[in-house]
Amino acid sequence: MEPLETLVGQPVDTPRASLAAASLKAASVRFGTYTAIDRLDLRIEAGAFYTILGPSGCGKSTLLRLVSDLIPAAGGDVSIFGKTTEQARLAREFAFVFQDAALLPWRSALKNVELPLEIGRKRGAVIPTGPRSPRELLELVGLKGRENALPHELSGGMRQRVAIARALLCQPKLLLMDEPFGALDEMTRDRLNLQLLDIWRETGTTILFVTHSISEAVFLGQKVIMLRANPGRLREIVDIDLPEPREMKMRDTPEFNRYCSHLRELLETC
C-alpha cells in the first residue's frame, strides 16, 4: 500500500489538466537541404485562440502541417494533448480548415459535412461523434436551409463555413486554420471573424489560426505567435489584452492600433 503522504504531497494540478493542446520541443522541418522550421519550442495552451503571423516563407503553414501530421518532424518532438501527432490524428483530436474550402464539388453541403464519418476506419481511425449532428453544425455556421446546395451554388464565404462545419463534426479539441478567410472580401471576412469567435467560445476548442493580416491576428487572437523567416523560428509571442468578447468597434481603439503597430514593427525587423 502507498504511504498516504506521497499521495497528498502530489501537486493539486493533475497532469491531465495541465496538458498542452500542442507542444513542440526543438522541432525542425527540412525540405531537402532547406530548413523550413528550425528547433522550434512552442506550447499551445488548451482552450486558447492563437493567431500566427510572420513574413512569407517563415513556415506558418508548415507549422500547421507539422502539428497535423501532414509532414514529419526532421528532429525534436511534437505532441498533441500528450499524444503523438499520429495518435492524435487517428483519434480525430484535431481538424484542419484550408484556405481553399476543399469541398467535394459533387457533394451537397450536408454530404460534405458528413464526409469525416465515412472515411478513416480502415486505417484505424476512431471516429468520435460530437454533440451536434451535421445538420445542427450547418445551422451553427448560419447555413440552415442550404443543406442540399452544391458547392458551386454557394458563395466563397458560405463554402468556407461548410468547411468549418465539417471540421467541427468530430468535436476536435484543436482546430488548425490556414488562412481560411484569405481569399474572401473584407466584409465577408469581418462577419466570419465574429462568427468564428462565437464558435470558439461555444465549443471551447483550441484554435491555431494562420493569417497574413495583422489586424485579423490582433482581433481574433488572445496570443499572437510571431515567426521569423530563414529559417523559421519563433520571434515573439504577443499577448493581446483586449476585453472579451471581441467586438468590431474595438478595432478603432488606441490599444488595438498599438498592438497592430507593435506587430508591424516586429514584422519589419523579422
Partner 1 sequence: MAAIDTLPIADPQAAARSAARRERLVSAIVPIGTAAALIGLWQLGVRTFGVPTYIAPAPSDVAVTFVEKFPLLMQNFWPTFFESVAGFLVGNLAAILIAVAFVHSRNVERAFFPIAVFVNTIPILAIAPILVLIFGPGMTAKVVIAALICFFPTLVNMVRGLQSVSPQTLELARILSASKSEVFWKMRLPSSLPFLFSALKISATTSVIGAIVGEWVGADLGLGALIIDATFNFNSPLLYATVLMSSGLSVLMFALVTLAERRIVRW
The residue (of 9 and 105) whose beta carbon lies closer to partner 1 is 105
Q: Is the dihedral of CA 126, 132, 136, 140 positive or negative?
A: negative
The residue (of 166 and 235) whose beta carbon lies closer to partner 1 is 166
State yes or no: residue 104 binds partner 1 (CB under 8 A).
yes
The residue (of 159 and 233) whose beta carbon lies closer to partner 1 is 159
Strand partners, 78: 24
Site string for partner 1, 108-137 (x = CB under 8 A): -------xx-xxx-xxxx------------
47 dihedral zone (left: phi>0; alpha: psi -120 to 50; beta)? left
State yes or no: residue 106 binds partner 1 (CB under 8 A).
yes
| Residue carrying C-alpha cell 510571431 | 226
Out of 49, 81, 96, 181, the residue judged to bind partner 1 by CB under 8 A: 96
Query: What single DSSP character describes residue 150?
Result: -
The residue (of 124 and 145) whose beta carbon lies closer to partner 1 is 124
State yes or no: residue 149 binds partner 1 (CB under 8 A).
no
**Would you call the peptide bond into 254 cis, given omega within 30 degrees of 0 as the criterion?**
no
What are φ and ψ of residue 208, in 5° steps?
-115, 115
Laid out side by side, the sheet with 22-31 consists of 34-44, 22-31, 75-80, 83-84
List residues near partner 1 by CB under 8 A. 65, 68-70, 89-90, 94-96, 98-100, 102, 104-106, 115-116, 118-120, 122-125, 150-152
